[in-house]
Structure 1
Amino acid sequence: MTVKKDKPRGIYLLPNLLTTAGLFSGFYAVVMSMNGQFEAAAIAIFVAMVFDGLDGRVARMTNTQSPFGAEYDSMADMVSFGLAPAIVAYNFGLLELGKFGWLAAFIYVACAALRLARFNTQVETADKRFFQGLASPAAAAVVAGMVWVCIDYDIKGEDYSIVVALITGLSGLLMVSNFKYNSFKEVDWNGKVPFVALLLIMLVFIIVATAPSMVLFIVFLLYTIAGPINTFRTVEKMTLEDVVGEADDADFDNQASDTEKSTHTTPEGEVNTDK
């Protein structure tokens, strides 16, 4: 008679360690903003983005995906890309607006929570080529980049409270919109590229190093604007459902019918970089 061995219990260390590092970065951003160190707070949010991109990829490379890791990652994202950017923006430039200020910050937090909940429920059926609404890391990058640029150029947040409130609130609303954002999943990262591509990548690093706050803010701001533009270009007749509510993806499916769809599929449990 053979004794059936129970599977060892526990969690995978490496991917969850990276998720914890991202969570710590988000918490650090909150603490730094409370101490008035807004540059460190903004940078911490970008660092959280790096860890958020690594944990999922490491989990897939090491075959250590798990339901626990997916849920933990989602909770960490709520702190790093939902709560932290809102508090940083509030402490930086929304205090002077009183109730309107914390309302703008709350709109961002609520929309981030709704965005993550919607993504987690649609991850198996969503079109892998697009994100439905602005991904929460990108929204956080817009808010954090705005604060970082203001600090670098000695711009006081209280002097432009309305602008800070508008950017924060609109970034939140775009997360729960139906605007289509390219996911870049069709890019073959394992394929070969010309040698000149490496030189271009080096040039990009140099440009970012010269003015990281401005370059990162402009890049993510352009990506944020690209969503509505991409939607207006691909939908023949814009309706309310194409902006909010239950969107019909038929127009996007028709657009892709004339081109070869990507053959790459998303592994089960990939929920880390698409929020």
Structure 2
Amino acid sequence: IATVKVVPEMIDLNSSESRVNVAEINLDRIQAEYERQKLLFEKGVIAREEMDQSEADYKKALEELENAKDNYDIVRTGMSSKTAQYSNTQIRSTITGMILDVPVKVGNSVIQSNTFNEGTTIAVVADMNDMIFIGDLDETEVGRVHTGMPIKLSIGALEDYTFDAELEYISPKGKEESGAILFEIKAAAVIPDSVKIRAGYSANAEIVLARVEDTICVPENSIEFSGDSTFVYVLKSEKESKQDFEKRSIQIGLSDGIKVEVRKGLALGEKVRGNEIFDKK
């Protein structure tokens, strides 16, 4: 995604350079001692154990010098000869996806994340094949939904399409907005390959709480409510401009706010005052 040029801190640079110098001095001393011990061992003056100890000290000094040089290179350039392929100067994405935003420009200063700050965001990458709908649900409705429920998504920019989704997350804590308590929900959307979706689209979700098919339903405004009873006015006869209606008790079921399911009391083909009965919901 990007290449970062390391600008070393002078304190760290001086410290790492001093470590290299100390390691070289220490190596020279131990190497001289190793050479003397080697000659003495060849003449049979010292035991094998002393020779092995001297050789181990020499190898440790060599390793310390190499580590000091690598540390100096990392502080100065951001990479070392041993770990060039893992250099932190090359910024790579951890996922396969599309770059959505590059908030920095060439020449901007960036810092790495640590305990005290989040670091600099160099790019925002997203997998556009794994779309998530994020929305808010009112507290009066949150108790009626659960994860795994099917959702219908409608996107304002794509008026001719609706998309299936599955509810995956319901926030355990509500937040107050404009005097209402809302709970965040997330749903995994199923987007066909033929449709191009952009991140950040506004969308509305319709959660299906219950469903009935192949049932008689009537417009909700044609129903008369009286206590626990519901009635409609059914057309009995029609002569010229005069219509005769019969008040009939019905048993209703599900409602979507526009049409209401009629479970009992009406037959397919009958007409009620106001609108014709729909044969399907």
Q: Given the two structures, how large is their TM-score scaled by the length of structure 1?
A: 0.18
Structure that is richer in strand per residue:
2
Structure that is richer in helix per residue:
1
Q: Which has the larger radius of gyration?
A: 2
Which of structures 1 and 2 has the larger relative contact order (alpha carbons within 8 angstroms, sep 6+)? Answer: 1
